[in-house]
Amino acid sequence: MNRPSDGELVAAARAARERAYAPYSGFRVGAALRTDQGEVVAAANVENASYGLAICAERAAVAAAVALGHRRFEAIAVAGPGPDPVTPCGACRQVLREFPRGVDLEVLCAGEAGERLLATTLGALLPDSFGPDSLAPPAADPAPNPPGNPPGVPRTPPIGPPGNPPGVPRTPPGS
């Protein structure tokens, strides 16, 4: 399979931009991811009357790619309105950071037409970022559970009858 060029990736983002659903802001954005297998997955932003529920084109493209089984991306192209290049928002930068290429992901930012292009990396757009490698590995279980307890459930001491402290047997009446 021939790998799509950067120009083809930008063209895919611009085509996706035309399918954006942006009735409130009119700010139509398209994004196209190039996977490590050379496939292109494109998507557009989708707005909502409840503004906070809108989804950006970049995150829509990531979700579509993941749904198709992709986890490794070489580059993303983003195309927005007007002649100036549009960069991903902070939330999209953080979502892109999650995947294996991380800060080395190529980011191609374009406007709706013309030759102006900002070619950069995710690391340049999101310096000193937090990602999967920032998390400490899970702590080892200090002691195995005794037989009969499911993993992660600590053994609890037996509890005596109501009114007696734990471990103190109940005294039969009349003793």
Which amino acid appears at position 57 of this protein? Answer: A
Exposure b/e, 95-122, CB count within 10 A at least 16 = b: bbbebebbbebbbbbbbbeeeebbeeeb
What is the distance between the alpha carbons of residues 7 and 169, in angstroms, rounded to a whole number?
Answer: 80
Q: Is 47 a known active-site residue?
A: no
Annotated catalytic residue, options 58, 74, 98, 106 = 58
Cα 100 from chain centre:
11
What is the distance between the alpha carbons of residues 116 and 141, in angstroms, rounded to a whole number?
Answer: 54
The residues assigned a catalytic role are 58
